[in-house]
C-alpha cells in the first residue's frame, strides 16, 4: 500500500502538535448538546413513518436516484416539494440541491460574473468562501456584522458597470449571533446591491413556523437569494436556493454542482416535503426550542457566565475558552458527566477564539440545560 507524500504527513504532524487534529467522533449515548437537529426531526418516528407512507401511497420506489436531474433523476416529487418550499417561504421559486455546501458552491461560482463584486462577512461559512473562490467576480470581506465597513467597500468598488452582491448569514454557525438584517436590507436597497443570505441555522428556529429570520422580519421581498439548508432544523439531507423564477432557470443552466451530480432519491425528497409539512402544521417543537433558548440565556446570567458567551438568541451558544488544550479539557470533563458538548478548535476558528459550542434542542429539558451550565461554571471558575 502506498503511503502519503511527505508534505502531507508533515501537515498532519503540525495539526497534532497544535492539538488541532480532527478525527471522526464515535457514536455515544450522551445527552445531546452537540448536534444541529434543533427540533428533533432527525429522529422523529412520525416523520419517518409519514415519509414511507407517502411513498407507498404513490407507489414510488424508496430508492431511485439514477442520474442528474437534467437526465433521468428529475422525478415528480421534486416539483411538488419545490413548489411547497417556495410557498412556505413566500418566494417565487425554489431549487433543491443535494446539500447546503452544493447550494453555496453552485450559486457563488455561477451567479456573480467576471468583474462583479462580492462583499462577504469575514465569518461566512466555508461553503460560501469555497464558492466565491470558484467565481470570476472580485471578492472583498467586511468586518463581522460591521455595516459601516461594508458601506465603505460599496462606495470604493461599486461602479455602474458591475453588479454588487452582499453576502451574510442570518445565524452564524460558530458564534450563533445574528446581523441586523433590517439595517442590511436598507443598505442594500440604498446602493442597489443584491443581498444573499444563508439561513442554514435559522430554518426551524426563527419565525412563527420556523420559516427563518428573513421572514420573521418580513424582509423576503428585499433579498435576492436565500439558501435554506435542511441538515439542521429539518434533520434531513439537501438544501434549496430561493429567489425569482429567472434565478432558478439560470441555476439549472449554469450551476455546476446542480448539473453534474446525481439527484436525490425519492425517499430523500419525500423526507424534505414531510418535514416542511410538519413545520407548517405543528409549531410545538419550534415553541419548545424558543423556550429553551430563553431559559439558557437566563441561566447563564444567573451563574455569572454571560461574559464568556457570544451574544446569541439562536440555538447555537458559544463560550469562548482560549487555547485548544484548555477547551478540549473542559469539554472532556463535561462529557464525562454525561453531556455531549463539543470543543471547537483553531484553525476552525481564529486562534484565541476557541470555544465550547453548545447546541440547544426542543427535546432538551430545562433541568439538563441548567445542569450543563452548572458544570461549565464549576470547571471554569
Indicate if 117 and 243 belong to the same structural domain: yes
Contact indicator for 15, 348 with CB cutoff of 8 Å: no
At residue 63, the pLDDT reads 67
Q: Final residue of a domain: which of 281, 308, 334?
A: 281
Indicate if 243 and 178 belong to the same structural domain: yes
At residue 65, the pLDDT reads 64
Contact indicator for 236, 272 with CB cutoff of 8 Å: yes
Contact indicator for 40, 235 with CB cutoff of 8 Å: yes
Cα(327)–Cα(345) distance, integer angstroms = 8
- Residue 11 falls within a domain, yes or no? no
Cα(37)–Cα(228) distance, integer angstroms = 15
CATH number of the domain within which 35 lies: 3.90.1150.10
Residue from 275, 264, 249, 368 nearest 85 by CA: 275
Q: Final residue of a domain: which of 260, 281, 302?
A: 281
Indicate if 260 and 311 belong to the same structural domain: no
Indicate if 222 and 274 belong to the same structural domain: yes
- Residue 68 falls within a domain, yes or no? yes
- Residue 6 falls within a domain, yes or no? no
Distances (CA, A) of 214 to 17, 94, 168, 189, 229: 42, 15, 12, 15, 14
Q: How many residues does the chain have?
A: 381
C-alpha 58 chain-centroid distance: 32
Indicate if 226 and 287 belong to the same structural domain: no
Indicate if 247 and 349 belong to the same structural domain: no
Indicate if 288 and 151 belong to the same structural domain: no
Range of the domain at 134: 60-281
User: Which helix (H) or strand (E) covers residue 229, if one does?
Assistant: strand 225-229
Q: How many Å is the Cα radius of gyration of the chain?
A: 21
Indicate if 135 and 202 belong to the same structural domain: yes
pLDDT tens-place string over residues 137-161: 999 999 999 999 999 999 999 988 8
Indicate if 176 and 302 belong to the same structural domain: no
pLDDT tens-place string over residues 52-95: 999 998 888 776 667 899 988 888 899 999 999 999 999 999 99
- Residue 15 falls within a domain, yes or no? no
Task: Name 164's bridge partners.
Answer: 117
Three cell numbers, residue 155: 462606495
Number of domains within the chain = 2
Indicate if 308 and 186 belong to the same structural domain: no
Indicate if 213 and 323 belong to the same structural domain: no
Indicate if 118 and 171 belong to the same structural domain: yes
Encode the chain (381 residues) as per-residue pLDDT tens digits: 888 999 999 999 999 998 888 888 877 899 999 999 999 999 999 999 999 999 998 888 776 667 899 988 888 899 999 999 999 999 999 999 999 999 999 999 999 999 999 999 999 999 999 999 999 999 999 999 999 999 999 999 998 889 999 999 999 999 999 999 999 999 999 999 999 999 999 999 999 999 999 999 999 999 999 999 999 999 999 999 999 999 999 999 999 999 999 999 999 999 999 999 999 999 999 999 999 999 999 999 999 999 999 999 999 999 999 999 999 999 999 999 999 999 999 998 999 999 999 999 999 999 999 999 999 999 987
At residue 26, the pLDDT reads 78
Residue 34, C-beta contacts closer than 8 angstroms, at least 6 positions apart: 340, 341, 342, 357, 359
Q: Final residue of a domain: which of 227, 260, 281?
A: 281
At residue 224, the pLDDT reads 98
Amino acid at each position: 500500500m502506498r503511503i502519503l507524500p511527505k508534505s502531507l504527513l508533515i501537515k498532519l504532524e503540525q495539526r497534532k502538535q497544535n492539538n488541532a487534529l480532527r478525527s471522526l467522533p464515535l457514536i455515544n449515548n450522551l445527552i445531546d448538546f452537540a448536534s444541529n437537529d434543533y427540533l428533533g426531526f432527525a429522529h422523529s418516528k412520525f416523520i419517518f413513518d409519514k415519509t414511507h407512507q407517502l411513498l407507498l401511497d404513490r407507489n414510488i420506489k424508496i430508492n431511485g436516484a439514477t442520474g442528474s436531474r437534467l437526465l433521468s433523476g428529475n422525478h415528480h416529487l421534486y416539483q411538488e416539494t419545490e413548489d411547497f418550499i417556495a410557498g412556505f417561504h413566500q418566494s417565487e421559486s425554489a431549487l433543491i440541491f443535494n446539500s447546503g455546501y452544493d447550494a453555496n458552491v453552485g450559486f457563488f461560482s455561477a451567479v456573480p460574473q467576471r468583474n462583479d463584486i462580492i462583499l462577504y462577512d469575514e465569518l461566512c461559512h466555508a461553503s460560501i468562501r469555497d464558492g466565491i473562490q470558484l467565481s470570476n467576480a472580485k471578492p472583498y470581506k467586511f468586518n463581522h456584522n460591521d455595516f459601516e465597513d461594508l458601506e465603505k467597500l460599496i462606495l470604493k468598488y461599486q461602479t455602474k458597470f458591475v453588479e454588487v452582491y452582499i453576502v451574510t448569514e442570518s445565524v452564524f454557525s460558530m458564534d450563533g449571533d445574528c446581523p441586523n438584517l433590517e439595517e442590511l436590507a436598507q443598505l442594500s436597497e440604498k446602493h442597489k446591491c443584491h443581498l444573499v443570505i444563508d439561513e442554514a441555522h435559522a430554518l426551524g428556529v426563527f419565525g412563527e413556523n420556523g420559516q427563518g429570520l428573513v421572514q420573521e422580519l418580513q424582509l423576503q421581498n428585499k433579498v435576492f437569494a436565500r439558501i435554506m439548508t435542511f441538515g439542521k432544523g429539518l434533520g434531513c439531507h439537501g438544501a434549496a436556493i430561493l429567489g425569482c423564477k429567472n434565478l432558478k432557470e439560470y441555476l439549472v443552466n449554469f450551476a455546476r454542482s446542480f448539473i453534474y451530480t446525481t439527484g436525490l432519491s425519492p425517499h430523500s425528497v419525500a423526507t424534505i416535503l414531510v418535514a416542511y409539512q410538519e413545520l407548517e402544521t405543528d409549531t410545538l417543537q419550534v415553541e419548545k426550542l424558543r423556550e429553551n433558548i430563553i431559559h439558557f440565556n437566563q441561566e447563564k446570567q444567573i451563574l455569572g457566565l454571560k461574559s464568556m458567551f457570544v451574544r446569541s438568541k439562536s440555538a447555537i451558544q458559544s463560550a469562548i475558552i482560549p487555547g485548544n488544550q484548555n477547551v478540549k479539557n473542559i469539554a472532556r470533563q463535561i462529557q464525562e458527566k454525561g453531556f455531549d458538548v463539543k470543543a471547537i478548535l483553531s484553525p476552525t476558528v481564529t486562534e484565541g477564539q476557541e470555544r465550547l459550542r453548545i447546541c440547544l434542542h426542543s427535546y432538551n429539558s430545562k433541568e439538563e440545560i441548567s445542569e450543563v451550565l452548572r458544570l461549565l461554571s464549576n470547571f471554569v471558575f
